[in-house]
Structure 1
Amino acid sequence: MALIARQVAALRRQVLETLRHHALCAPGDTLIVAVSGGADSVALLDLLATLPDLPLSLVVAHLNHCLRGGESDGDERFVAELAAARGFPFETCRVDVRALAAEQGRSLEEAGRDARYAFFDRLRQQYAAVAVATAHHADDQAETFLLRLLRGAGGSGLGCMPFRNDRAVIRPLLEVSRRDLLRYLHERGLAWREDSSNLDTTLLRNRVRHELLPLLETYNPSVMKRLASTAYLLRQDEELLARQVETVFAELVLSDGSGLVFDAASCGCQPEGLRFRLYRRALELLTRDLRCFDSTHIRQLDRLLLHGGTGARLPLPRGLVAIRTADGLVLSRADAALASPPRATEITGPARYDLGNGLSLLVELAAVAPTSSDADDSTALVDLDAAPFPWQVRPHARDDRLSLPGGEGSRSVGRLMIDRKVPRHLRPLLPLLLSADQPLWLAGVRRSGHARVTERTGTIARITVVGLCLRPAAGIRSHRRDGPAEAPSKLL
């Protein structure tokens, strides 16, 4: 009995160390615990409920996938009784995953995963929980590593499951083997449910579990631990590389408000491995999900950037399209790539004016100190005494000319856009602001010398373009969970 008690205590200490080392939760936190009724999740619930020096508020969550009929319903009842016996809140949800997959044209695995995340996200908000704890363990990590190796994956894929992902899911058991969890359950006298589908060797994961891994153990009895350790080391390398890629991405890739722009000259001279990571990062930002993109898509993007002719297009999953411009590669949603020039609009006073395609012009009266400058291209300040309302906004013509300040003559808007290296696909979208046919501002690119604010200016108008921007892509909202950010235009 003393040996059993020591083994139980040792496993609890191991899990506690994982939680602390990876900062997965803190004393008093609320956790949603995903409990299927199987051995792994039952052990996880018991461990989290009995950790020394780490009191937690636990909510038991069970998603009934409705895939195994009465067996699935039995799992749900078992977990409900388990939660009630321990006095934990219990939340359940029934989703016909098979029907959902058929409706969406997706695999059972994908439909089930999305259903679980939707359920967990709702509960996490409902209970103000810091995370959702799942029972993935070291054997799962090793199996996932082999599955991805068999299917073909790079370092990011072989890094497998992190201790915490970006959906607030934590995995406290990733350093614990299935064998240790089963022994813990026996030592604690805990019951669990067996999922009959885990024995179906027509499923690749089950074949890896029941056939490949036992074979590999004849070569190395510790192969499970070695594979899980390799996945962890690759994950660490990937996190380091991801930080470096993020820095380069912010320097080389620009956002135009609806998509991302790769400059052919600066990106094309980078090492192939770095270019591939830049494409993957862009796809992740635009779709939140890389599962539908594979190495073929990445290589096609690279060929388009390096060798594609101007106007060449590459359709991609999730409604994306890549377009090769004269000076780069634009990656955006297909509908955004069809944007048309701004519509002609009369500006009669301070207000917000819709120019179409999600583009608008915000005109405000401004109080600016006499020493202020209006040189920032993201906005324009206008002396209303020199250029009174009404104004006009229209698409620019290539031979429109802006007077330069200081008596330096004038320059065509076409030349100004070339000098400022405005991507070709954006140039038709830039509105031109005029007063009595005198150009005031090529939005976001250059103010003319006409009606500029001086120390003698009395009434000042500030104009900002909303919905058109070209700035470092690090500034866009990652994952677009709340939709695109509405930000002032800043082309260069």
Structure 2
Amino acid sequence: MTDKVLAFCEHHQLFTTTDKIVVAVSGGIDSVVLCDMLSKLKMDFGIAHCHFGLRAEEADADELFVKKLAKKYNVPFYSEHFNTKEYAEQEQLSIQMAARLLRYTWFEKIRQQYGYQYIATAHHQNDAAETILLNLTKGTGIAGLHGIPAKNNKIIRPLLCLTKDDIYDYVTSHQLIWREDSSNESTKYQRNLIRQEVIPVLKQINPNLENTLSQTVEKIKGAEAIFQKYIQEVKTASVTEKPEATYIDITALNGVTALPVVLFEILKAYNYNYEVVQNIVESFTAISGKTFESPTHILVKDREQLVITGKNLGAFGSYEIAEETTIFEAEELMLGLARKEATGYKIPRSRKIAALDAELLQFPLKVRTWKEGDWFVPLGMNGKKKISDFLIDEKIPANLKPKIKVITSDKSIVWIIGYRPDNRFKVTDKTNTVLEIEIKK
């Protein structure tokens, strides 16, 4: 069986014989088998054990057992105690998720601190089957049907070629002892419920369920490679990422096969679920302005494009620009200011630059986000115009409007930054000095 594991590791290039590996060991049967196999393979490894403070004396006994196991194999032993309940409450996580985050963060710390190349966990085929069924039950994309990868960056899983029955056979033939975790019997945990009540029923239909699912995963990975290549082609043709927003060209999506599925793969990075993506696709034939929110982003269907921005774009303070300032920087905005002689001056034709009559300005100038009721006199016009109306005329998507900032002089708007200066402050033949303000970023 050790040869089978070694062949699996070589096939998936999990490690080389010269690599150092830190093994996550709970004291349970799976991690005990992994340690014994690595020892027989003469690998250089250490043992890391987490005490989550959840099972009192039982957890203390687990820690002592794992410490003795490290002594048996004459390898380094690392242990850490966590207040898992407190962390879960603080981060508003389930106990299981909190424990997962704590242990993997700590494992990585140990890996780096002591020069290990990889972190090995003892997941096997049954664990992978449970993961697939759990993801399928909750709803998932194609990536959720992978189960558990054999290698994920610095985390390796050498036992994924074995079933739980294989592991029991191994401990029997090698007369190994291990610790049983009483929490594994509780069906209040979803994974345990799948393990104890769902999989036994499925195995009545297919006794070879774990191997079958393992083979299915390989087929899914192949299908996903084709699928992801297609997704990338669609993204290249339709998605444009800019500092202020991400734009998706709706016309470029015409003819895309299984459009809701493809768009879901693109939008899941912005935390949109599949049901919302279906609604977004339906909006393609509706009028502009339809808004869709995820926990982190806002998407607006704006004419023939989707515009995606992060939330809280309007959270920009109010800042002053002193008369002697040459570089102004606040949050994500940087402006360059330069005074120039008006004689021979040529006004730049760029929305990134405002040319203003310096003598008409009252310092300090102020930079802030525009607000309802703001008005200005657009360059080239003599009458007032509300900024809200100007933004409509400029076809600014609804979710980008909160990002628009203005510069004011004594409460009068002199420039809608990046769009239009105010006619009252324009450079004329009477101007002596020009204040040129340029967007640097």
- Aligned pair in 2 of structure 1 residues 426, 211: CA closer, same or farther (>3 Å)? closer
Per the alignment, do residues 428 and 13 of structure 1 end up closer, same or farther by CA in structure 2, a change over 3 Å counting?
A: closer
From the superposition, tell whether residues 66 and 279 of structure 1 become closer, same or farther in structure 2 (CA, over 3 Å).
same
User: Which residue identity is paired with 1:324?
Assistant: V
Equivalent residue number for residue 181 of structure 1: 167
- Using the TM superposition, give the Cα deviation of residue 279 of structure 1 relative to its aligned residue in structure 2, in angstroms: 1.6
Structure 1 residue 362, shift from structure 2 partner: 4.5
Counterpart AA for 2:333: S
Query: Which residue of the partner structure matches residue 476 of structure 1?
Result: none
Q: Give 1:142 shift.
A: 1.5
Distance (whole Å) between structure 1 residues aligned to residue 118 and residue 322 of structure 2: 50
Q: Residues 193 and 267 of structure 1: is their aligned pair in 2 closer, same or farther, counting only changes over 3 Å? A: same
- Alignment counterpart, residue 15 of structure 1, candidates 1, 5, 9: 9
CA deviation vs aligned residue, 1:5-26 (integer Å, no higher than 9, x gap): xx444443333433x2xxx334
Q: Is the 8 A contact 2:283 2:290 kept in 1?
A: no
Q: Does the aligned pair in 2 maintain the 1:433–1:442 contact within 8 Å? A: yes
2:126/2:163 contact within 8 Å kept: yes
Q: Could you list the per-position Cα deviations for residues 241-298 of structure 1 after superposition, in whole angstroms to 9, with x for gaps in the alignment?
A: 34543454464153445x6454555568751211111221222xxxxxxxxx754454
- Asked if 1:276 corresponds to 2:249, the answer is no
Instruction: Tell me if 1:37 matches 2:38.
Output: no
For residue 237 of structure 1, what is the amino acid of its counterpart? A
In 2 relative to 1, CA 63–235 (structure 1 residues): closer, same or farther, beyond 3 Å?
farther
Q: Could you say which residue in structure 1 is the equivalent of 2:206?
A: 220
Instruction: In structure 2, give the amino acid aligned to 1:310.
Output: G
Deviations 1:148-195 (A, max 9, x none): 2333333222222222336x3222222222222232333333322122
Distance in 1, matches of 2:322 and 2:280, equals 42
Residue 326 of structure 2 corresponds to 350
Structure-2 separation of matches of 1:266 and 1:421: 20
> Any idea what SS the aligned residue of 1:145 has?
helix
* Conserved 8 A contact 1:279-1:301: no
> Equivalents in 1 of 2:191, 2:115: separation in Å?
34
SS of equivalent to 1:160: coil
Residues 417-436 of structure 1: matches in 2 within 5 Å? 423-427=397-401, 429-431=403-405
1:288 is matched with none
Matches of 1:69 and 1:225 in 2, distance apart? 37
1:123 to 94, 107, 110: 110
Are positions 1:66 and 2:88 aligned together? no
Q: TM-score, normalised by structure 1?
A: 0.66
Given that residues 289 and 398 in structure 2 are in contact (C-alpha distance below 8 angstroms), is that contact kept between their aligned partners in structure 1? Answer: no
CA–CA separation in structure 1 for the residues paired with 2:350 and 2:177: 68
Contact 2:299–2:399 (CA<8 Å) still a contact in 1? no
Instruction: Call closer, same or farther: CA 1:401–1:48 in 2, change over 3 Å.
Output: farther
User: What is the Cα-based RMSD across aligned positions, in Å?
Assistant: 4.7
Unpaired runs of 5+ in structure 2?
339-347, 356-362, 381-386, 428-435
Whether the 8 Å contact between 1:142 and 1:224 is mirrored in structure 2 is: yes
Match of 2:18 in 1: 28
Structure 1 alignment gaps of length 5 or more: 1-6, 284-292, 366-373, 383-389, 404-412, 452-460, 466-487
Paired residues in the alignment total: 412
Identity %: 26
Instruction: Give me the whole-angstrom Cα distance separating, in 2, the residues matched to 1:188 and 1:103.
Output: 44
Could you report, residue by residue, the CA deviation over 1:125-152 in whole angstroms, capped at 9, with x for unpaired residues? 3234433221111121112222223333
Give the aligned partner of residue 358 of structure 2: none
Q: Tell whether 2:302 aligns with 1:330.
A: no
Using the TM superposition, give the Cα deviation of residue 36 of structure 1 relative to its aligned residue in structure 2, in angstroms.
0.9
Q: Provide the C-alpha distance between the structure 2 equivalents of 1:199 and 1:229, rounded to a whole number of angstroms.
A: 28
- Aligned-pair CA distance for 1:38: 1.0
Q: Tell me by how many angstroms 1:34 deviates.
A: 0.9
TM superposition shift of 1:322: 2.6
